[in-house]
Chains A and B, each alone.
Chain A
Amino acid sequence: MKAAIVVFPGTNRERDMRIALKRVTGRDPLMLFHREELPKGLDLVVLAGGFSYGDYLRCGAMAAQSPIMKDIKDFATKGGHILGVCNGFQILIEAGLLPGGLLRNASLRFLSMDCHMRVERAGTAFTSRWQKGAVFRAPMAHGDGNYFADDATLDRLEGEDLVAFRYTDENGTVTEAANRNGSARNIAGILSPNLRICGLMPHPEDLVDPLMGGTDGLPMFESLADTFVSA
């Protein structure tokens, strides 16, 4: 798998993502500074978490205007796979590659804690190692993770089976208590219509090693490694 992690000014979870990708591929992903061009022949582009441009203006809004985003949009148009986590998800939305918006958490506080998610769409490049309905744990760490979209968009996402993950309790039940940031319909992550772009708020990359508290997040990276096994 040829993967690249994009580093914007203020990106800060690129090292976590490097660890997770290296764990499944055995080699370091390319770290791409946002002023560089996207090289040819990549399988996967990752927009990692952090505070690109300090979250000033609006989370992800400035990074979405960065020079490299033109290359990334071209990559998407050609059917490239893109994973956006946390601030990366916010950037994908601001860039128009995924629908909706991410508002301030309902509690108006930064949330740093583990959550549980249910896999709503298995069988994609990001989720093939899970069964539909599987529940896994992942840390979240964000101030603006409250997913929002109008009802028509939410209906379309659900109708086209593009909701990737939903916040649930540890038994997989959708509850209000499990939805700490207040996301519409408990949505934690979504997919593009071609299933090749995935954005989510929690951090599976921070739970890929028993030493760090568990491997619940590992299937996402194993799924990606499976998808690009020949590459």
Chain B
Amino acid sequence: MTGPAAKPLDSAARPVDMAHMTAAAPVSLDPARAAQLAAEFGLKPDEYERCLAILGRTPSLTELGVFSVMWSEHCSYKSSRVWLKELPTKAPWVIQGPGENAGVIAIGDGLAAVFKMESHNHPSWIEPYNGAATGVGGILRDVFTMGARPIANLNALRFGAPDAPRMKQVIDGVVRGIGGYGNCVGVPTVGGEVNFHPAYNGNPLVNAMTVGIAKADRIFTAAATGVGNPVVYVGSKTGRDGIHGATMSSAEFSADSEEKRPTVQIGDPFAEKLLIEACLELMATDAIVAIQDMGAAGLTSSGVEMAGKGGMGVELVLDNVPQREEGMTAYEMMLSESQERMLMVLKPGREALAEAIFTKWELDFAVIGHLTDTGRIVIRHKGQVEADIPLAPLESEAPLYRRPTEETPKQPVLAPGAVANPTTIEDALLRLVATPDLCSRRWIWDQYDSLVNGLTVKRPGGADAAIVKIEDHDRALAMTTDCTPRYVVADPEEGGKQAVAEAWRNITATGALPLAITDNMNFGNPEKPRIMGQFAASVRGMAAACKALDFPVVSGNVSLYNETEGRAILPTPAIGGVGVIDDAADAIGLGMPHGADLILIGETEGWLGQSLWLRDIAGREEGAPPPVDLAAERRNGDFVRARILAGEVLACHDCADGGLLVTIAEMAMATGIGATLAAPATKAPEHAFWFGEDQGRYVLAVSDPAGILAEAEAAGVPAARIGRSGGGALVMADGRSISVAALREANEATLPALMGGKA
């Protein structure tokens, strides 16, 4: 920690002038001290000047704290906002796009899906268990704040090389933290993705996603109205944990990151469970005007956002805030990131009703202020005004940067025959399914409760997207998280496109209709033009894919400064996709059935650039990544989904990391049933055909191949019969074979061996 953020500083020495209890202005800091603290809190000199201009005087300590967290990268999106505007956010089914706690889409039957993904990267590196756990807690609150009952958690994880220093401990802590929180709170963890790459050695990524269900006409938002309406604090007590967490998340790491441990919060999933039940119970009444969780920057951002969005003012009396520790200052209370807390504005006269519900659930409840018409946030504590800031300029004058960008140079396209296979097809397959990026994730998901609530139709590993049914309805949601960072670093625009397309594809492969995404943009230091260029190009690619696939962005989160000692992570725009299927019984999985014909949908050139085969078998990370033809993507996917919903497809798996043969192997490993494969009809070398990562492809297991092929031809969709399922091995056309049991053994062994034993 560079600044003495957790110390009470000069407030203790300040005399409390009782005569000026109601009118006293905040006590300005000494100007030189204020400028020095501003820098320590992460405000740039010009940002601090702007703060002085807004106030017309030197800020108090509390005011300086409010400005620094509200204008942190984490809260203000100051480097990313100009680019994020390019993303399409509208569709007839979008109820709430970006800007609220979470996005909301209509899914039929008068229901809405509410979802968002958010990063907890820096905390998870500093303290893996609690960093990951509170990441889950925070995203759950973003969703139930809007009136939704959370029905599923997913995550997108990026770790360093498994043998990198501390990495095993980080993997173990993150997995335990995600499980520890989600399992206790009773929301099933149903899906996710994991990659390993040395670029994450000092900066792993933990992106957590929650999906909830609400009635479409009962969505709650943060915009508060009604002068005099009570501002109510509920949940856990406020302590000194997490002060300046948002600032910490907006800076690069250095070797002293260990000293930042006090900025990581401690989660209490039990309190969160009670908070969910109490909030949903209160939401069923008419008591709530507005509600906002206290996430990053705690009481500051929730207070500012609720009053600011409603065009109101707010006055808070911190003496009434439930406190866990003695002697907390206004500065500490305003910046604390203690977990499991919510702020709400109630209709007048509903306090007793609300208090009874929170008392029933054994949670704190306190009226800590009221709305005003002053357009200012006024903070009082012990008879002293500690802060008095106009709200409008806090938002309108917030820094906004169009930082310089530099394009990533295009990489040359690697011809299918450019790199020879150093081994046999069978050996390459056996090694690929055992690599960290392709091996079984069982060791991880065996620690996550994926079934609680009794509505999980497709569990982890069962289908390309998780399927969770909606209680008392036939309808189900399909959910996935996707990104291929090695593509993004090689070509940020194509990589951004691919991340969106893959999420769309994974939902499509279950038979569900993809509806919308949340994005979690993880990048390095935006002050470096190359990094900002990665961001801008990724957004460009994502926007193109979102438009072509009718798959708008409804919520998201940006995490910048993911660098340690100047080394950036791979650019990782993780996509969380949500789709709907009208009848959960129509959803299909990826497991190979007996006696089915295998149909490949899509074109295969044998694209080896940036493929896992190239990296993990040939030992080279190079070339342009596979391009995504969005028109073909749309055409192929719509065809596949229609065939699934017509009942013509027994199983479906998209071709992704590792290429076609890995896809078939994954289908086989899911059930233990093998297949006999036809000789590839291709000009490409055999290994490029089997391991190339051409996009927009699916493998379908069907019982009427002629029918599907005829329909594909009529629809202009490339389709070919590539084999027939059965037996216990994958058998090539010339008789070479590899047993499914051997593939499974290799696939299952990797993570337990890395992590030292079975779950």
Contact = CB atoms under 8 A, between A and B. Distances in A.
Contacts of B452: 12-13, 16, 49, 141, 206
Given A13-B186, A54-B269, A111-B759, A19 B454 contact: yes
B446 A15 contact: no
Contact of B447 (A33, A49, A112): A112
B183 A110 contact: yes
A139 B758 CA distance: 18
Given A12-B186, A51-B269, A112-B448, A107 B757 contact: yes
B270 A109 contact: no
A9 B361 contact: yes
B184 A55 contact: yes
Contacts of B450: 112
Contacts of A12: 184-186, 273, 452
Main secondary structure of the interface of A (DSSP, over half): mixed
Interface in A1-52: 9-10, 12-13, 15-16, 19-20, 33, 35, 49-51
B453 A16 contact: yes
B451 A139 contact: yes
Interface string A193-206: 00000000001011
Contacts of A53: 270
B273 A51 contact: yes
A131 to B, nearest CB: 26
Contacts of A56: 270
B273 A10 contact: yes
Contacts of A51: 183-184, 186, 269-270, 273
Contacts of B448: 110, 112
A212 interface: yes
B184 A203 contact: no
Contact of B184 (A54, A109, A208, A212): A54
A211 interface: yes
B449 interface: yes
Nearest to B758: A107
Contacts of A213: 459
Interface in B453-472: 453-457, 459, 469, 471
Contacts of A20: 454
Which of A49, A141, A209 neighbours the largest number of chain B CB atoms within 10 Å of its CB?
A141
B467 to A, nearest CB: 9
A211 B457 contact: yes
B451 A206 contact: yes
A212 B268 contact: no
B268 A54 contact: yes
B560 interface: no
B445 interface: yes
Contacts of B270: 9-10, 51, 53-56
Given A9-B274, A107-B759, A110-B180, A15 B471 contact: yes
Contact of B362 (A9, A16, A205): A9
Contacts of B759: 107, 109, 111, 113
Nearest to A14: B186
B143 interface: no
A36 B455 CA distance: 28
Contacts of B268: 54
Contact of B451 (A111, A203, A211): A203
A51 B180 CA distance: 11
A112 B183 contact: yes
Interface string A52-68: 01111000000000000
Given A9-B270, A10-B274, A211 B360 contact: no
B447 to A, nearest CB: 5
B420 interface: no
A141 B757 CA distance: 19
Nearest to A50: B186
Contact of B449 (A10, A54, A141, A208): A141
A112 B451 contact: yes
Contacts of A9: 270, 273-274, 361-362
Contacts of A33: 360
Contact of B454 (A50, A109, A205): A205
B411 to A, nearest CB: 42
Nearest to B454: A16
A19 B470 CA distance: 12
B222 interface: no
B629 to A, nearest CB: 36
A107 B184 CA distance: 19
A83 to B, nearest CB: 16
Contact of B457 (A15, A113, A206, A212): A212
A209 B476 CA distance: 15
B51 interface: no
Contact of B456 (A107, A205, A212): A212
A12 B270 CA distance: 10
B585 interface: yes
Interface string A126-142: 00000000000001010
B296 to A, nearest CB: 24
Contact of A10 (B184, B454, B457, B758): B184
Contacts of B459: 213
B584 interface: yes
Contacts of B445: 112
Interface in A170-188: none
B179 interface: yes
Given A10-B274, A35-B360, A51-B269, A212 B447 contact: no
A211 B447 contact: no
Contacts of B180: 110
Nearest to A52: B270
Interface string B182-199: 011110000000000000
A7 to B, nearest CB: 9
Given A54-B271, A212-B457, 12 more contacts: A16-B451, A16-B452, A16-B454, A33-B360, A51-B184, A51-B269, A53-B270, A107-B759, A110-B179, A112-B183, A112-B447, A112-B451
19 contacts: A9-B273, A16-B451, A33-B360, A49-B452, A51-B186, A51-B273, A54-B271, A107-B757, A109-B759, A110-B179, A110-B183, A110-B447, A110-B449, A141-B452, A205-B454, A206-B452, A208-B454, A211-B584, A211-B585
